[in-house]
Amino acid sequence: MTTPNTPVTLILHGAAGRMGQALLRAAPALRGVSIGAALVRAGSDLVDTPVRRIAGPDAADLDFQAALDPDVRADALIDFSSAHAFDAALALALDRRIAFVSGTTGLTDAQHAALAHAAHAIPVLWASNFSLGIALMTRFARMAARALGDWDCEIIEMHHRRKADAPSGTAITLGKAVAQGRSCALDAQAVHGRQGLVGARPPGQIGFHAVRGGDVVGEHTVMFASEDERIELTHRASDRDVFARGALVAAQRLAHAPPKSYAMDDVLGDCD
C-alpha cells in the first residue's frame, strides 16, 4: 500500500449523494488528494453544475458529470452510489485498472461475488464504516474476544430515528470480529434483543441491541462482562464527515497497491 500523503487523483462515483458531497468537502484538507471527476447519474439536475456551488469554495474546481471524460487520469475510484449503480462503478474501475473503494449498501450476493472476482485484477475495498476509529475498535474487539473467551459479549448501537436497518452494518462487523476472535460462526451465536421469559444467558452468545432516536450520527459499544468486572469499548461519531475522511485515506492507501481484497484494518496498518 502507498504511504500517507502520496499524491493521488480520485474519481467520485455517486458524487451527488450525502456521502459524495462529504467527500468533496473533505478532500481539500487531505494532503496529496485531488478529485479528478465527480460523477452523478445521467439525468441528474447537477450535471454540468460546478462542484463548488454544492460543496463550497474549497472543493475541486470542476463540474458534476454523468460520464467520465476519457482524458481524465486517476489512481482510484470511490463509490457511494446505490446497488443499482454499483455494477457500472466497478466496471469503470476495472476498465481503468484502478483501485476501487466502495461503501455502497444493499449489495446482492452476486455483487459481492463480482467484487471478490475483481480483486484478482485490481485492489478493492468494501466497508460498512470507513471511520479509522471504528477500524481500531474492531481490532480491539477481536483481541478482547480472543483473550476473554468465556466472558459475556453484548453489542449496543444507537443511530438517528431515520435509520431503516437494524442492527447497523457496523454492529454486524464488530460481531464478526468477536466471533473471529472466538473461532466461532456469528450466525450460530448471535441473538437480537431479548423479550419475555428468555431464561439464563447461554455461554457464548453475542447479543445485539439497536437504539433509535433523535439525530445521533452513530454510537457503538462492545461490552465484555464477567462475574465481577466489565470492559466496554465505545466509539461515538459526532460528524458524518469522519466517514468521508476515512474513505479518502483508504483510496489514497490502495492506489497502486497489489490486486486483492482489502479491509479497513489493512488501511489502519500495523500500530503495535
Report d(CA 60, CA 195) in Å as an integer.
51
Known binder of ligand: residue 129? yes
Evaluate whether residue 1 is within a structural domain.
no
Q: Is 14 assigned a ligand-binding role in the annotation?
A: yes
Whether residue 170 is annotated as binding a ligand: the answer is yes
| pLDDT tens sequence across 40-84 | 999 999 999 999 999 999 999 999 999 999 999 999 999 999 999
Q: 256 and 217 in one domain?
A: no
Instruction: Note the pLDDT tens digit of each residue in 164-195.
Output: 889 998 999 999 999 999 999 999 999 999 99
Structure confidence at residue 272 as a pLDDT band (50, 70, 90): low
Q: Report if residue 214 sits inside a domain.
A: yes
Please indicate, yes or no, if residue 103 is contained in any of the structural domains.
yes
- pLDDT-derived band at 11 (thresholds 50, 70, 90) equals very high
pLDDT of residue 269: 81
* In a shared domain, residues 109 and 22: yes
Q: Could you report the per-residue pLDDT of 102-142, keeping only the tens digit for each?
A: 999 889 999 999 999 999 999 999 998 999 999 999 999 99
HSE toward the beta carbon, residue 218, CA cutoff 13 A: 20
Q: What pLDDT, on the 0 to 100 scale, is given for residue 271?
A: 58
Residue 244 and residue 225 share a domain: no
Position 115 in a domain = yes
221 marked as binding residue: no
48: left (phi over 0), alpha (psi -120 to 50) or beta: left
- Evaluate whether residue 177 is within a structural domain: yes
pLDDT score at 121? 98
Flag whether 15 is marked binding: yes
Q: Within this chain, do residues 150 and 257 fall inside the same structural domain, yes or no?
A: no
Asked whether residue 3 is domain-assigned, the answer is no
Q: Are strands 64-65 and 33-39 parallel, antiparallel or unpaired?
A: parallel
Structural domain of 164:
132-237
Assess whether 125 and 249 both reside in one domain: yes
More confident: 184 or 1: 184
Same domain, 183 and 97: no
Q: Could you report the per-residue pLDDT of 145-166, keeping only the tens digit for each?
A: 999 999 999 999 999 999 988 9
Domain annotation covers residue 122: yes
Q: State residue 6's pLDDT score.
A: 81
Do 107 and 200 lie in one domain? The reply is no
Q: Is 160 found in the same domain as 122?
A: no
pLDDT for residue 270 is more than 80: no
Residues 248, 114 share a domain: yes
CA distance 38 to 51: 8
Task: Order across the sheet with 8-13: list the strands.
Answer: 64-65, 33-39, 8-13, 76-79, 99-102, 124-126, 261-262
pLDDT band at residue 5 using 50, 70 and 90 as cut-offs: confident
Average pLDDT for 200-207:
97
| pLDDT at 4 > cutoff 80 | no
My answer on whether 40 and 105 are in the same domain is yes
Cell 455494477 locates to: 87
Tell whether residue 18 is among the known ligand binding residues: yes
Number of structural domains (the chain) is: 2
Q: Which pLDDT score is estimated for 9?
A: 97
130 is in an annotated binding site: yes
How far apart, in whole angstroms, are the C-alpha atoms of residue 16 and residue 11?
A: 13
> What positions carry a catalytic annotation?
159, 163
Length of the chain: 272
In a domain, 85, yes or no: yes
Rounded to an integer, the average pLDDT of 190-219 is: 96
Binning pLDDT at 50, 70 and 90, where does residue 223 land? very high
Q: Could you tell me the CATH number of the domain that includes residue 158? A: 3.30.360.10
> Is residue 49 a known part of a binding site?
no
230-to-67, 140, 148, 233 alpha-carbon distances in Å: 53, 15, 11, 10
User: What pLDDT does 164 receive?
Assistant: 85
Q: How would residue 239 be classed by pLDDT, with cut points 50, 70 and 90?
A: confident
32 and 103 fall within a common domain: yes
- Residue appearing with cell numbers 483508504: 250
- Give me the CATH number covering residue 64: 3.40.50.720
The answer on whether 1 is annotated among ligand-binding residues is: no
Q: Are residues 119 and 27 in the same domain?
A: yes
